[in-house]
């Protein structure tokens, strides 16, 4: 897997990739593919978040749980789907909050690559999932790798924003000392944008304007959400 890691992330991730957990993950994925199990996103898109958002360009981190597990949905960015795919309910609520917060016109698609290219790291905790089985790869070794990604961002001198929607994202951040003890970053928490919880505190939380205000205050370009 190390040869697939984008150059800007290689130094911080290579030590993790040498651990038993990462080797177990690599073996597991090979075995799943050999057994012709359908895995999302497809090979070549699993590290897309790291490819589009180099470490030295990260301004905002948004944490998701695992990829969408339906056909054609997952393409390596949390909450995002390729153009032409129906916008999922959670992303629909994210768009509604964005419109209310900043007046941004709701797009007619769910592709968030334009966020990623501006420095928004759209990172799932697990970067693969078996088709139609949410959480199926959650305990297969991805957490060690994605923890290292978040730690690498939190350990940088540049002030960044961590947007943590839901208990899963907040729990992940709490396991990372560099983030939990950092006072130079902005950490925004709310309930998840899922239709099951969005009305309990996600709507009205204004994460996008808060993120941009913080970035500008610290001399960084705001995100064109």
Instruction: Please give the positions annotated as active site.
Output: 66
Which of these, 1, 5, 21, 28, lies nearest to 149 by C-alpha position? 5
* Helices and strands in the chain: count of H runs, count of E runs: 9, 6
Locate tokens 């050999």: which residue? 34
Q: What are phi and psi of 47, to 5 degrees?
A: -110, 25
Cα(153)–Cα(118) distance, integer angstroms: 15
Cβ-based neighbour number of residue 183 at 10 Å: 7
Q: In which element (H, E) is residue 76 found?
A: none
Cα(160)–Cα(172) distance, integer angstroms: 17
Helical H segments across 53-206, by residue range: 89-102, 113-116, 142-154, 167-174, 177-180
Cβ-based neighbour number of residue 59 at 10 Å: 23
């Amino acid at each position: 897997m190390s040869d697939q890691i984008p150059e800007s992330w290689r130094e911080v991730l290579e030590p993790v990739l040498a651990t038993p957990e990462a080797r177990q993950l690599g073996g597991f994925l090979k075995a799943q593919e050999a057994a012709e199990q359908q895995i999302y996103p497809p090979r070549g898109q699993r590290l897309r978040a790291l490819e589009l958002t180099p470490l030295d360009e990260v301004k905002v981190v948004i944490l998701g749980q695992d990829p969408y597990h339906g056909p054609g949905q997952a393409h390596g960015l949390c909450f995002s789907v390729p153009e032409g795919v129906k916008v999922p309910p959670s992303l629909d609520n994210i768009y509604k909050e964005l419109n209310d917060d900043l007046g941004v016109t709701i797009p007619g698609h769910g592709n968030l690559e334009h966020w990623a290219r501006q420095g928004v790291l759209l990172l799932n905790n697990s970067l693969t999932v078996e088709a139609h089985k949410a959480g199926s790869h959650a305990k297969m070794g991805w957490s060690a790798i994605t923890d290292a990604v978040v730690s690498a961002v939190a350990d940088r001198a540049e002030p960044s924003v961590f947007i943590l929607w839901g208990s899963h994202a907040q729990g992940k951040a709490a396991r990372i000392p560099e983030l939990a003890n950092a006072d130079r970053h902005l950490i925004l928490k709310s309930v998840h944008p899922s239709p099951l919880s969005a009305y309990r505190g996600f709507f009205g939380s204004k994460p996008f304007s808060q993120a941009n205000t913080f970035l500008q205050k610290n001399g960084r370009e705001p995100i064109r959400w």
